[in-house]
Structure 1
Amino acid sequence: MYIHKQTEFGGDQIHGYVDIGSGEIENVIATQALVLMVVAINESWKIPIAYFLINSMIGTERANLIRESLVRLHAIGVRVISLTCDGPSQNVAMIRELGAKLYIFDMRSFFLHPEDHTQKIYVILDPCHMLKLLQNVFSTVEVLVREDGQQIMWKYIEELHKLQEKEGLRLGNKLKMAHIQWRNQKMKVNLAAQLFSSSVADALEYSEKELKYPQFTGSAATVQFLLTIDAAFDVFNSRNPLGRGHKAPIKPATKHRAMGIPEEA
């Protein structure tokens, strides 16, 4: 996470410089805090176990910190089954250094525990961060092409917004100017989640098939894209044990249905 760049006196020390816990403080002002947190999956608690004040840190260095943390957790009987992080290039390099691969045609979604090579630790890229990155890509390149050649087009999102602004009402969705000009609020996950939603997909489909507006002709691939991303995000972001549909928790009875969504995505 980014932190305010400054130094200050605290007792007999100066705080604010890069410090990775080695006992040596670099003469570089820290701009980020790399935080490691353990989250229980069978109980309701989470505990930060370490933080490092950094300016920049390459993937190899991050991987070394993860390995050291895993070794220490293993020593006190904590079993780690997954590693979750967001997706900047340094973290992707860290994941590769640990032994996992995130290449779509050469996927290896786990690495072996440094203290127990029979135990796999699975890598999960944070769904909320990935959704924001997808919003960035979609709105920037404007056209995505499916394997079958059909085009997924940002212009349909803009046309739907124009239509709703002109008519002064929304077709059962939350689409507004903030979703089109999202860069002003790029940290808000809810904007991306509201964009990639079944309600926006339904509005596009209704505008093409029922209202027959010509500006929505050919939007079927975009509709399917929005529905697929909406379902995948619900599956990856499920947390309520009483959730239903795609938001239901993944368990033995539902895992085959739930895992079909990410494969489609």
Structure 2
Amino acid sequence: AIVSDGATTNRSMWKHFGVSGSLTGTRNSFTHPLDEKRSVYVFSDAPHLIKCVRNRLHAQKILSTPKGLVLWSHFDTLYVEDEKNPAYLKVCPKLTYAHINPSNTLKMRVKLATQLFSRSVADG
């Protein structure tokens, strides 16, 4: 198996071996170059995938899943309404402006993406 982030050089290597994440032709493996009976599987690292999901949801404002829609407005409303509460009564005290309105630099922080999808925010 190969695990890497989504850097341009890595994506170029994936493409070279026929790996694709397109909706119509997903392919996450290729034949091992020294043993045709084996496959080499390619994965993007989990932190990178979490950031990608968060960034797509932030940009598109909607994400369709098998269990329904996820709307960015849910996170936005949760933050705005929670900001009206005093600190000791906040439902999601760790949720900040940076989570809801990340700059280009902040979009690269795994911590902000994982916190947005955390159990404490889901419970909020």
Q: Do the structures match in fold with TM over 0.5?
A: yes
Do the aligned residues in 1 keep the contact of 2:82 with 2:92 (CA within 8 Å)?
no
Do the aligned residues in 2 keep the contact of 1:173 with 1:199 (CA within 8 Å)?
no
Task: State the number of aligned residues.
Answer: 121
Q: Which position in structure 1 is the counterpart of 2:42?
A: 123
Residue 84 of structure 2 aligns to a residue whose secondary structure is: helix
Structure 1 runs, 4 residues or longer, greater than 6 Å off: none
Q: Which position in structure 2 is the counterpart of 1:30?
A: none
Do the aligned residues in 1 keep the contact of 2:61 with 2:73 (CA within 8 Å)?
yes
Are 2:115 and 1:194 aligned?
yes
Are 2:71 and 1:153 aligned?
yes
Give CA-to-partner distance per residue, 1:63-82, whole Å, 9 cap, x none: xxxxxxxxxxxxxxxxxxx1
Give unpaired runs (5+ residues) of structure 1: 1-81, 204-265
1:160 maps to amino acid: L
Residue 119 of structure 1 aligns to a residue whose secondary structure is: strand
Q: Which position in structure 2 is the counterpart of 1:100?
A: 19
- C-alpha change, 1:147 and 1:187, in structure 2 (3 Å) is closer
Give CA-to-partner distance per residue, 1:142-189, whole Å, 9 cap, x none: 1234468x5421111111111221102332562111201222422221
- C-alpha change, 1:158 and 1:123, in structure 2 (3 Å) is same
Give CA-to-partner distance per residue, 1:183-220, whole Å, 9 cap, x none: 242222111001012221221xxxxxxxxxxxxxxxxx
Q: Kindly, what percent of the aligned residue pairs are identical?
A: 33
User: Displacement, 1:99?
Assistant: 3.2
Q: TM-score, normalised by structure 2?
A: 0.80
Structure 2 counterpart of 1:180, from 93, 100, 107: 100
Residue 123 of structure 1 aligns to a residue whose secondary structure is: strand
Give CA-to-partner distance per residue, 1:9-30, whole Å, 9 cap, x none: xxxxxxxxxxxxxxxxxxxxxx
Distance 1:84 1:137 in 2: 21
**RMSD over aligned Cα atoms:** 2.3
Give unpaired runs (5+ residues) of structure 2: none
Do the aligned residues in 2 keep the contact of 1:99 with 1:112 (CA within 8 Å)?
no
- C-alpha change, 1:111 and 1:173, in structure 2 (3 Å) is farther
Q: Which position in structure 2 is the counterpart of 1:132?
A: 51
Q: TM-score, normalised by structure 1?
A: 0.41
User: Displacement, 1:125?
Assistant: 0.7
Residue 35 of structure 2 aligns to a residue whose secondary structure is: coil
